Amino acid sequence: MTDARAGPGRTAPDAIDGTEGGCQADEMRTLEAIGAVARALTPAVVVAVGCGAPAPHREMGAAYRAISQAQENEAAEDAPLELRQAREKYEAGRRAIAAGAYDDARRLAEEADADARYAEAKARAERARRTAEETRAGIDALRREVERSAIY
Partner 1 sequence: MARTTRIGTLVFLALAAACARPRNAALDTVRAAYREAAGTAEIATNAPAALEDAGEALRRTERAYADGACDADVNALAYVTQRRVDVARATAARKVAEAEIDRLSREREDVLGAPAQPSAPAATPEDGDQR
- Give the residue with the Cβ less far from partner 1, 11 or 117: 117
Question: Rule CB under 8 A: which of 45-64 touch partner 1?
Answer: 50
- Give the residue with the Cβ less far from partner 1, 36 or 122: 122
DSSP, residue by residue, 17-83: HHTT--HHHHHHHHHHHHHHHHHHHHHHHHHHHTTTPPP-HHHHHHHHHHHHHHHHTTHHHH-HHHH
Return the residue of 87, 139, 149, 150 that touches partner 1, per CB under 8 A: 139
**Cβ atoms 113, 61 nearer than 8 A:** no
Phi, psi of 101 (to 5 degrees): -85, 75
Question: Rule CB under 8 A: which of 67-106 touch partner 1?
Answer: 69, 103-104
- Give the residue with the Cβ less far from partner 1, 36 or 63: 63
Residues near partner 1, by CB under 8 A: 50, 69, 103-104, 107, 110-111, 113-115, 117-118, 120-122, 124-125, 128-129, 131-132, 134-136, 138-139, 142-143, 146
